[in-house]
Structure 1
Amino acid sequence: MFMSVKQAAEKWGISDRRIRVLCYEGKIPGAYQEGRGWKIPIDAVKPVDGRYKSTESLLDMIDRKKKELDTMRPLTEGEVERLREQFIVEYTYNSNAMEGNTLTLRETDLVLRGLTIDKKPLKDHMEAIGHKEAFEFVSELVNDNVPVSESIIKQIHYLVLADKKDDRGVYRRVPVRIMGAKHEPVQPYLIQPKMEQLLSDYAESTEHIVTKLARFHIEFEGIHPFIDGNGRTGRLLVNLELMKAGFPPIDIKFTDRIFYYNAFDEYHVKNNLSAMGKLFARYVNECLDMYLKML
C-alpha cells in the first residue's frame, strides 16, 4: 500500500516540496518514482529532519527507544506471534525479490500458507519456504543466545538454499563475480581464512551494534562464501545479531535495493561505511517506532 506526496505531506505536516526532496535524497525507505510522481509506503515513518542540529544522533535515538522497548518486556506469546507474523511474509518477499524471485508479496503470503501459485517456478516456491524456515531457525538461535560461527552460518545457508541440494551449507569451490559490483569476491582458497578473520574481528569490535553489523554484512558479502544465497544468508545473520542484542529484526525493502547496492560500492571503492550504516540505522529506528506504537 502506498500514499502520494500530497497525502504524506498532510500526514506529516510538512510541504509537498519537502516530501519530494526527502524522496529524491533517499530518506524515505521504500519510496520510488513512478512517472513524475512518487509512491511512498503507507507505513513509512516521517524522517528525522537533518536540516536542524540535534543533540541526539540517530544511534543515540535508537538506544533510547530500545531502552523504552525493554521496559515493555517480556512480551506475551500473543504479542510475539503478532509481530512475527506481520514481519515474516514481507521479509521473505523482499529478501527473495532482491535475488530475482518473481513471487509478489501476496503470492509469497499464499505460498507460506501452503498454496501453490500457477505458472510460477518451483524454485521460487522453494526459496520462499526455505527462507521462512531459515528465519524460524534464526529465531530459535536468538532464544538460546547462540554465538555466530561458521557452523551456524552454514546451517542457515543450508535452509536458505532449498532448491540446490548439492550446494547447501558448503563453501563454494569456484571463483565467482557479482554482476555490476565494483568488488570481486575472494578466491575459493581464501574463503576459510577470510571467514575466520571476519568472525574474529566481529567478536572483538566495540562499535555500536548497528555500525558493527553494517561492516560485518559488507565484509561477508564481499567474501561471498557460497555459490548462491549469500545475500539472503547475510541479511538473516544481521537479524540474528540484532535480535540477540534486543533489537527488532529489519526488512530491507526491494524498493530500496539501489541504495543498498550502492552502499557496498561506497565501502569497497571509497572505504565509506556510512552509507550502509545509515541505511541500517534508519531501518532499526523505524522498526523500533513500529514496535513501540503497536505495544
Structure 2
Amino acid sequence: MEYISVKEAAKRWGLSERRVRLLCSLGKVDGAVKHGRAYRIPDETPKPPDGRSARRFKVSERYRGIFTRIDAMKAELDERRPFSEAELRRMRDEFAVEYTYDSNAIEGNTLTLRETALVLEGLTIDKKPLKDHLEAVGHKEAFSYVLSLVQEGAHISERVIREIHSLVLMDRPEERGRYRRIPVRILGAANTPPEPVTVPELMERLVADERESRLHPIERAALFHLRFENIHPFIDGNGRTGRLVLNLSLMQSGYPPVNVKFADRRRYYDAFESFPDDGGDAMVRLVSEYVEEELAKLLSFGKK
C-alpha cells in the first residue's frame, strides 16, 4: 500500500497540517498509522468529513427559500471543485484588495481601490495619511489571519477576536486587542453601546451563545455581527473587526467570504438601526444576498 505524509494530505485536502494531525490522533482518518511522531496515510484515503459543518441547525421559516437556494448553489460548487490552487489564490488575492478597500472606506479611509492595491504591493501613496496606509496593510494581514484560522478549524473565541483586532488596529498599538474602558457613542446611531464595565461579560456571553446556536450558519453569522457591533467592545476598529469575524463565521461553515460594499453602506447602517424592531431580518437578508452573489460568481467562473 502506498502512503502519503501529513503534509501531502493537508495540501490535497485543503486543510492545515495541524488539522490533519488532529484528525489522525482522533482516529478520523481511515488507515492512518503512526511511526514515531509522524503519521502515514494511505494514498487512497478520502478527505474525512468535517463534523463541525455537519451539526444540525434549524432554518427560520422566513428564510427557508433563500437558504435552500443558497445551499443548493454551495452544494453544486462543492461537487464541481472547478478551480486549481493557482486560480483560487488569484481570486482570493483579488477579493482581499476589494474587501480591504470597501471595509476601510466604510470607516472613512481615503485610499481609492487602485491606491489600496498599490499600498498592499508595498508602495506609498503621496499626500495620503500614514494612518490610511497602515489600515490597509493591517486589514489585509487580518484577513490572511482569518484564512489561516479557517484552515486550522479554529472556533470563534474572545482570544481570536482580540487577535484579529490587534492586526486591524496597526496604527493604534496602545489599544490593540484591548476592550474599551470608557463610554462611547456612535455618531448618528440611535442606540448607545453598553457601559465599559459590562463589556467583558457581554463578550463572554456572545461567544458562548454563538457556540450553542443551532441557527442556519448565515443567520447565525449575521446575528453575531449585529450583537458584536452593538456591544462595540473596542475604542476603534469595531466595524472592520466585526466584518472579519462575520467572514470567519461564514467560511467556517463552508460559505465564501463576503464584501460589504462601500456603495451599500447606507443599507448596511440601516440594518443596525432596525435590529431592535426586525430582530436582525435586514442584516440576515443583506448577508444572504452577498453570499449568493459570491457563489454565483464562483459558479460562473467554474463554467469557463
Q: Give TM-score, length-normalised by structure 1.
A: 0.79
Query: Sequence identity of aligned pairs in percent?
Result: 53
Find the counterpart in structure 1 of residue 285 from structure 2.
Answer: 278
CA–CA distance in structure 1, aligned partners of residues 81 and 176 of structure 2 = 36
Q: Deviations over 1:129-185 (max 9, x none)?
A: 000000000000000010110000000000000100000011111110001111111
Written as runs of structure 1 = structure 2, the 5 A alignment for 1:40-51 is none
Structure 1 residue 75 displacement after superposition: 4.6
Find the counterpart in structure 2 of residue 94 from structure 1.
Answer: 102
> Is 1:164 the counterpart of 2:172 in the alignment?
yes
Structure 1 residue 203 displacement after superposition: 1.1
Structure 1 residue 57 displacement after superposition: 1.3
Residue-pair matches, total:
240
Q: Deviations over 1:19-67 (max 9, x none)?
A: xxxxxxxxxxxxxxxxxxxxxxxxxxxxxxxxxxxx9711111110010
> In structure 2, what residue type is equivalent to 1:89?
V
CA–CA distance in structure 2, aligned partners of residues 73 and 67 of structure 1 = 10
Partner SS state of residue 147, structure 1: coil
Moved over 2 A (4+): 72-76
Partner SS state of residue 249, structure 1: coil
Find the counterpart in structure 2 of residue 65 from structure 1.
Answer: 73
CA–CA distance in structure 1, aligned partners of residues 232 and 296 of structure 2 = 33
Structure 1 residue 198 displacement after superposition: 0.6
CA–CA distance in structure 1, aligned partners of residues 68 and 148 of structure 2 = 29
Find the counterpart in structure 2 of residue 291 from structure 1.
Answer: 298
CA–CA distance in structure 2, aligned partners of residues 79 and 58 of structure 1 = 28
Structure 1 residue 73 displacement after superposition: 3.3
Find the counterpart in structure 2 of residue 11 from structure 1.
Answer: none
Written as runs of structure 1 = structure 2, the 5 A alignment for 1:1-295 is 57-73=65-81, 75-268=83-276, 270-295=277-302
- Measured at CA, do residues 206 and 114 of structure 1 come closer, stay the same or move farther in structure 2, by a change above 3 Å? same
> In structure 2, what residue type is equivalent to 1:126?
L
CA–CA distance in structure 2, aligned partners of residues 74 and 119 of structure 1 = 43
Task: Give 5+ residue unaligned stretches, structure 2.
Answer: 1-62
> In structure 2, what residue type is equivalent to 1:169?
G
- Root mean square deviation, CA, Å: 1.3
Structure 1 residue 76 displacement after superposition: 2.8
> In structure 2, what residue type is equivalent to 1:200?
A
Structure 1 residue 121 displacement after superposition: 0.2
- Measured at CA, do residues 56 and 155 of structure 1 come closer, stay the same or move farther in structure 2, by a change above 3 Å? closer
Q: Give TM-score, length-normalised by structure 2.
A: 0.77
Task: Give 5+ residue unaligned stretches, structure 1.
Answer: 1-54
Find the counterpart in structure 2 of residue 34 from structure 1.
Answer: none
